[in-house]
Amino acid sequence: MFSPSKRDPESCVLSISYGFRVLKLATSLMSRAFSVGSASLLGKAPDMAEVRNRLRQIVGASTNWKHHQQAMEERALLSRHLASSQDQLPAKTMKDSEIEVHLPLGTQPSLREKYLNYHNTVRFGRILEDLDSLADMRKNMVYPDCDIKFTGHVTWVGKSSIEAKMHMSQFHDGAYTPVLDATFVMVARDPQNKRAAFVNPLKLEGPEEEKLFQQGEINKKRRVEMSTASLLKVAPTADERNIIHSLFLNTLDTKTVSFRSRIRPPNSVWMEDAKMKGLEICHPQERNIFNRVFGGFLMRKAYELGWANACAFAGSRPILVSVDDIMFQKPVEIGSLLLLSSQICYTEGNHIQVRVHTEVLEPFTRQHNTTNIFHFTFQVEEDVPAVVPQSYGAHDHHSMAAVVLAHCRRGLSQALGSGLVGVLSPKFVNGVRQKSGIQYISRPDLPKLAYRKVKGKSPGVMFLPGYGSNMSGEKAEALEDFCRSLGHSCLRFDYTGHGASEGIFSEGTIGTWKKDVLFMLDEVAEGPQILVGSSIGGWLMLLAAIARPEKTKALVGISTAADYFVTAFKSLPLQERKEFEDKGTWTIPTKSNEEGFFTVSLDFLREAENHCILHSPIPIACPVRLVHGLKDEDVPWHVSMQVAERVLSADVDVILRRHGQHRMAEKDDIKLIVYTIDDLIDKLTTIT
């Protein structure tokens, strides 16, 4: 899929952790040269404008367009200074290439205006431009009024190619937090861009640098393999042929059974009807230091067209999930007409995969040449129609888009596994919210239950929400993203009367919801599960583990409210209890909902008493982890301590968060929960 051109003066691979891959060639330069800039002399990092000015100085670029031809001729004289072999160049360390650049959005309002979109958030296309001057989204919430810092260094070199990793962080709440990572692969060319130029060998210092270098070797092999994946080069595999044929059969009119008579399947759109096009005149103002169109400008325009296409297709605002496989095949000359064509190639649930193809039209020769291919994955709130290919070429785009979406998910797994934790921003994991679609399951004479399920390895993770909550909360979605990243199954659902499930909430009981949990364990969950219960979900988790020990591999309780309704009511003063008994309902103050209270009936309390478990040893033998906040004003943390004392398992830990509250929904809370589950998965999968 990566196809760098040897003629391309600007070619490098940009790799963002969820699958962000960009290809772009660049003339060799020493990043360390930035350190002599005026900003560094003053003891601070340079800003983006200073970086670009310094780049111009390094390559001898003209600042005036009318002198560009003379500047290019002068650069040709530098060819005689190039090394004839890599051995003639001194080895460099990774530290030699370290650089830090600031983007002062917080302190320069005039600069901030250039980065705002109409939603008053940062334009991601502008970030692509800045990265190209110097990528996995750890979160896609980039604050418009906080300074941004870019850091990076070389991590791998070949004979003429260089891999460099860049990290983007943003100053917020008194500290810099990670936002985005990128990997560029650049190929050095001679001053006339006629042949490759040797680069300095890399001197490795320590095991961490050796690990980075080995990853660079792996990345190189992967690029070679992916470059042969297109139908333009190889025939489809047997599985791909079956998929293509199946898609074709689904579009045949059964009345005529003719190749010419095609019909759209239900809830689908022809790929031909999911296009959007654009045109740009390439003016000198958009040139790079080599006097061709700036690659970042092309990336921004492609992203914005892809976003607009996804927005029009879905009828709602798309959120970027990943950018994958951007190929810079040919430089774009100043004065060219740039034609951009956006095509929605694949959809899955509420995800949209967009391919943007750019080509240049040389106005005087009327020649068309492909310059770039981009792939963007977006997510919208509601599920979207499927797109159906009508031609062989369209099938290639459709199949490739499906592969890209899967690759995006594998990238998330790598990001989490390497410490790039996507749950730093629970609402946007990766910039990635890959939400499963809602499904419903019927039960004889009982309300339907709504659920979301991700298939994968065992043990799976099954999330049980709290009282009055649902499966779409921040913890539930973060857990699904985490499970998806590791390839483990995940199941979350709404109890009867909750969320999207059928039933009347006020008629629900602990016994009703226990039956819901057992039904989902028996009928929907695949294989053994790690049960994760929040608040009342923690109580139900314990009840389910007692009833289904063979299906329960481990338990993670979050603010576990075992027996809590019953014990809290019985702890009330006698007169107060009598008043509630006469009234028939009990109003409980809480900070966990907007109303500030919830009400339960006395019948609910009496039924709940049948399921109390803290009065005797709890017959659970699997590993148990109980996470609780010391500032929980709804369910005191000592409830988790009571559970730990009564559980018979020999493997029980209680984890107390000093500033944790009942919902445990802050980013650090969720990170702790994810790490706890991750440790359990490691423990369970390494037991022999």
Map out the domains of the chain as residue ranges.
14-226, 242-417, 435-562+617-686
Would you say residue 608 has pLDDT above 80?
A: yes
pLDDT tens digit sequence for 58-108: 555 555 655 556 665 666 666 677 777 888 888 888 888 887 877 776 666
Q: How far apart are CA 538 and CA 654, in angstroms?
A: 13
Q: How far apart are CA 421 and CA 609, in angstroms?
A: 41
Residue range 543-561: average pLDDT? 97
pLDDT at 388: 83
Sorting pLDDT into bands at 50, 70 and 90, what band is 337? confident
Note whether 559 and 629 are within 8 A (CB): yes
User: In CATH, what number does 242-417 get?
Assistant: 3.10.129.10
Report the SS3 class of residue 423: helix
Nearest to 663 by CA among 538, 530, 501, 518: 538
Residue type for 611, please?
H
10 token code pair: 């600007």
Least confident piece of the model among 8-17, 162-171, 271-280: 8-17
Partnered with residue 655 across adjacent β-strands are 627
Q: How far apart are CA 204 and CA 219, in angstroms?
A: 18
pLDDT: is 184 or 115 the higher one? 184
Nearest to 350 by CA among 240, 242, 452: 452
pLDDT at 453: 93
Homologous superfamily (CATH) for 435-562+617-686: Alpha/Beta hydrolase fold, catalytic domain (3.40.50.1820)
Q: How much is the mean pLDDT over the chain?
A: 76
Would you say residue 47 has pLDDT above 70?
A: no
222 token code pair: 């992967």
Q: How far is CA 639 from CA 26, 535, 539, 632, 634, in A?
A: 61, 11, 11, 11, 11
Note whether 219 and 165 are within 8 A (CB): no
Note whether 485 and 432 are within 8 A (CB): no
277 token code pair: 């096009």
Q: How far apart are CA 371 and CA 328, in angstroms?
A: 6
Residue range 108-115: average pLDDT? 66
The reply to whether 242-417 shares the fold of 14-226 is yes
Note whether 555 and 625 are within 8 A (CB): yes
pLDDT at 447: 93
Q: How far apart are CA 337 and CA 627, in angstroms?
A: 59
Sorting pLDDT into bands at 50, 70 and 90, what band is 138? very low
Positions marked catalytic: 535, 632, 662
Residue range 639-656: average pLDDT? 96
Q: Which phi-psi region, left, alpha or beta, contains residue 264 (left: φ > 0; alpha: ψ -120 to 50)? A: beta
pLDDT tens digit sequence for 235-267: 666 666 666 667 777 777 666 655 566 777 788
- Tell me 33's DSSP state: G
Long-range contacts formed by 518-521: CB under 8 A, 24+ apart: 518/544, 518/547, 518/548, 519/443, 519/449, 520/441, 520/449, 520/451, 520/462, 520/491, 520/493, 521/462, 521/548, 521/551
Sorting pLDDT into bands at 50, 70 and 90, what band is 438? confident
Sorting pLDDT into bands at 50, 70 and 90, what band is 520? very high
Q: How far apart are CA 156 and CA 162, in angstroms?
A: 6
pLDDT tens digit sequence for 391-428: 654 544 555 444 444 444 433 333 333 333 232 222 33
Residue range 555-561: average pLDDT? 97
**Three state DSSP letters for 479-540:** HHHHHHHHCEEEEEECCCCCCCCCCCHHHCCHHHHHHHHHHHHHHCCCCCEEEEEECHHHHH
Note whether 421 and 412 are within 8 A (CB): no
Nearest to 519 by CA among 504, 539, 540: 540
Would you say residue 56 has pLDDT above 60?
A: no
420 token code pair: 């790039």
Residues counted in the chain: 688
Sorting pLDDT into bands at 50, 70 and 90, what band is 142? low
Would you say residue 313 has pLDDT above 80?
A: yes
pLDDT at 129: 54
Within the chain, what is the greatest distance between any pair of CA atoms?
A: 98
Residue range 304-313: average pLDDT? 93
Least confident piece of the model among 22-36, 168-182, 215-229: 22-36
User: In CATH, what number does 14-226 get?
Assistant: 3.10.129.10
Q: How far apart are CA 140 and CA 76, in angstroms?
A: 43
pLDDT at 640: 96
pLDDT at 234: 59
Nearest to 276 by CA among 383, 356, 347: 356
